Amino acid sequence: MRNQHHVTHAVPYGTIQDAGELAVLSESSEPTRHRYAMVVAFSSEEDLRQAIAEHRCAYRAGGRAQELAHE
């Protein structure tokens, strides 16, 4: 029987800064528009990298996201 090891890390926590149709600007490419998107901002690069590596994060709604929730 195989033993299972569960590693528990704190889930990176971010804030939804904006949502809806968004344009992404990057130094390495042309602007890209996304019709249905949200921007989640993290307090550190480490949190961002952890969210990307683990394919998950938790977040709270910022001002714009709260407005969208009540439209």
Average pLDDT, stretch 9-19? 87
List the one residue out of 55, 64, 11 whose CA is nearest residue 37.
64
At 5, the pLDDT band (50, 70, 90 cuts) reads: very low
Q: What is the pLDDT of residues 17-46, one digit of tens each?
A: 888 899 999 898 899 999 999 999 999 999
Order the strands of the 29-42 sheet from edge to edge: 29-42, 13-26, 58-61
pLDDT in tens, 54-70: 999 998 888 777 777 77
pTM of the predicted model, to two decimals? 0.69
